[in-house]
Amino acid sequence: MNDEPLSQEEINQLLQGLEDEAEAERTEKTDDGYPPAPTRATTDIQQFLTEIEKDAIGEIGNISFGTAATTLSQLLNQKVSITTPVVQAVKSDLLQEEFPAPHVSVHVQYKEGFEGTNVLVIKEKDAQIIADLMLGGDGTEPSNELGEMHISAVQEAMNQMMGSSSTSLSTIFNTRVDISPPGITMLDVEAGDGIEQLPNEATLIKISFRLKIGELIDSIIMQLVTVEFAKEMVELLMNWR
């Protein structure tokens, strides 16, 4: 990909918010309920992020995960698209409202460029399909269980995705961004499984993308970061000059 830093005009465009087409995409309702409807866990994001910070986070996610989608497409040999993200604030003590069913949680630690943890959450069924594709299947009859081999396959796919995302962040911020190899756990909030890998904050920023993989997956993939981490990215972007 192009390693040249973004021009000032491109940076200003990030900070001006989403264009009309992206805004329409953000508010459009689809059969699978995207964008995510507010739940009891959703709280007023304006208490934590200004409108310009919220839009900047969405645009940063849009660029970095657009690159990640290209990487995933090459890995799975499927057309992959990730739409403009929806940015929400959620209460950690009510996360069971956000994740009522088991999910797969992938967490990475930033070693350079940022401080903190980035958590990616996908539905268990989607992880099963991705694992089947990674292991040479066609994704139509995935295993109903995620064994060690399947988890390793999903972990590798997410590793490649997050690596591509970090490369995009390096370009956006004109600085080296390095992450640790991702860890992967089953996340069942109601049962208390995997929650130790989530950031220990009362409120988290959830960045939701609609993920489509060929004709196999039309779902939602979510990124969870702390409010502090979100603000750090915006501050670095605004002060890049």
pLDDT of res. 13: 59
Q: Domains of the chain (ranges plus CATH)?
A: 8-238 (3.40.1550.10)
pTM, two decimal places: 0.81
What DSSP string describes 8-33?
HHHHHHHHT---HHHHHHHH---TT-
Dist. CA 110–CA 143, nearest whole Å: 32
Dist. CA 166–CA 113, nearest whole Å: 10
With contact defined as beta carbons under 8 Å apart, do 219 and 209 qualify? Answer: no
Q: Phi and psi of 204, rounded to 5°?
A: -120, 155
What are 24-70's pLDDT values in tens digits? 444 444 445 577 777 778 888 989 999 999 999 988 888 888 888 99
SS3 state of residue 71: helix
With contact defined as beta carbons under 8 Å apart, do 127 and 139 qualify? Answer: no
Tokens linked to 51? 């409108």
Dist. CA 95–CA 4, nearest whole Å: 39
Q: How far separated are the first and last CA of the chain, in Å rounded?
A: 22
Q: Phi and psi of 82, rounded to 5°?
A: -130, 120
With contact defined as beta carbons under 8 Å apart, do 108 and 122 qualify? Answer: no
- With a cut of 70, list the residues of the chain below it in pLDDT: 1-33, 240-241
Whose CA is closest to 146, among 186, 106, 108? 186
Dist. CA 38–CA 2, nearest whole Å: 37
pLDDT of res. 5: 55
Q: Angle at which helices 124-134 and 51-76 pack, to 10 degrees?
A: 40
pLDDT of res. 205: 94
With contact defined as beta carbons under 8 Å apart, do 83 and 201 qualify? Answer: no
- CA 215 to chain CA centroid, Å, is 21
Question: Within 10 A of 90 (CB to CB), how many other CB atoms are there?
Answer: 24
pLDDT of res. 191: 87
pLDDT of res. 177: 86
SS3 state of residue 7: coil
With contact defined as beta carbons under 8 Å apart, do 65 and 222 qualify? Answer: no
13's CB contacts (< 8 A; 6+ apart) are 59
